[in-house]
Structure 1
Amino acid sequence: MDLRNVMRSLWEQHIAWTRMTLISIIKDLPDVDFVTNRLLRNPIDFERVLEVFYGYEIASQFSDLFKSHLVIAAQLVKAAKAGDSKGSADAEKRWYANADEIAVLLSRINPYWSQENWKTMLYEHLRMTKSEAVNILTNNYEESITEYDEIEKQALKMADVMAKGIAKQFLY
């Protein structure tokens, strides 16, 4: 139960700080650097938990990939905000390639984590996060909140998949 709660907390922080960063970038808020720095702490927090089970090297690989996920997302939002369709398309392509890399890593380290399942969940996460950002960019705040509610449900599903996989691999 503690592992599940930790994973849920990490994924909740991921989506909450992602939303705050999206808003800060899109609306040019003065807290953007502070919010972004807090968001970038999330991969390090994941690393600390995963290191207990998988060691430093693997946990660090996950952290690096997850940080890239966040950095690419910010690049995508900045390009979209600037009306740079070529830059947006490039960032989005790299974002999905990064999701593929995360899915491969997770399936490689835990026999209870399917690469295809992770790829499906991560792609859904990206699709919803992009939709959330577009809604904020277009001042469709009510829809962005509705989208965030769906992102939260999906993030908790990913947290539970992580916790169950680790529990099956190490605790049962």
Structure 2
Amino acid sequence: MRRAKRCQNVCVPISQVNLIFDSRTVWRDLTIWLRSYVNMKHGGLGDEEAIKEKINKVLRQSIHIFSTVFGEEYADEYVNLINEIVRYLGLLIQAQIIRNANMEKESKEKLQEIPEETGTLLARVNPYWEKEQWIELFSLYNQRIIEQSTALLNRDDKEDIYVFDRLLSLSSRIGDYYSRGILDYLMYTGRSIDGK
């Protein structure tokens, strides 16, 4: 009750409420479309260009949210890192399919490096995010995607379902942390996103 009384005088504009909601759900949407991409690459089912366009649409939404809150100067760096995850995921899947162990190893190593770079950027941009937390979340995310690709490669449907369920739960954790950091940043810095 004490917390509710303290927060009664806080007014969050509807534009910020919508932005916070969208910042949370973008991670789940990305996970769902990356699953479609991984399935399409392994099974050849689906329209690759249409799936890539959906992934790009989700990424554009993510970049819009990011640049609206933190400005254009950081948005390019952020989008490059997120695009690297998608790029190396594609290379990893290709390597698994053609059984190229060196290419698979290089892709996995790169997917393990990106969380450090992303965590550094996000902690630099927003003091309400911790670098170590982002490294942990993105490392787990990339690992789960690798596990999903491996399950599909091995035609292990039960493992694929299990991993996807864990990916959805993880995407919710990431979305919660991401949106909470944006909310804290907007509330405690007094930054406004009027009409955006």
Q: Partner letter of residue 154 of structure 2?
A: T
Q: Equivalent of 1:147, from 159, 163, 170?
A: 163
Q: Give me the whole-angstrom Cα distance separating, in 2, the residues matched to 1:162 and 1:153.
A: 14
Does the 8 A contact of 1:76 with 1:88 survive in 2? yes
Partner of residue 132 from structure 1, selected from 145, 148, 166: 148
Which structure 2 residues correspond to residues 12-161 of structure 1 after superposition, within 5 A?
12-161=28-177
Aligned to 1:163: 179
CA distance in 2, matches of 1:170, 1:4: 10
**Residues 20 and 182, structure 2, Cα contact 8 Å, conserved in 1:** no
Take 2:63 and 2:79, find their aligned partners in 1: how far apart are those partners? 5
Structure-2 separation of matches of 1:41 and 1:79 = 26
Contact 2:29–2:58 (Cα < 8 Å) also in 1: yes
Which among 8, 15, 24 is matched to residue 8 of structure 1?
24
In structure 1, list runs of 5 or more residues that go unmatched.
none
Change beyond 3 A, Cα 1:119–1:45: same
Provide the secondary structure at the position in 1 that maps to 2:71.
helix
CA apart distance, 1:42: 2.4
Amino acid across the alignment from 1:5? F
> Identity across aligned pairs (percent)?
18
TM-score when normalising by structure 2: 0.83
Q: CA deviation at 1:9?
A: 1.8
Deviation by residue 1:96-133 (Cα, 9 ceiling, x = unmatched)? 22221111110110111111110011111111111111
- What letter matches 1:168 in structure 2? D
Matched pairs, number: 172
User: RMSD across aligned C-alpha pairs, in angstroms?
Assistant: 1.3
Whole-Å Cα distance in 2 between the matches of residues 150 and 28 of structure 1? 24
What TM-score, normalized by structure 1, do the two folds share? 0.94
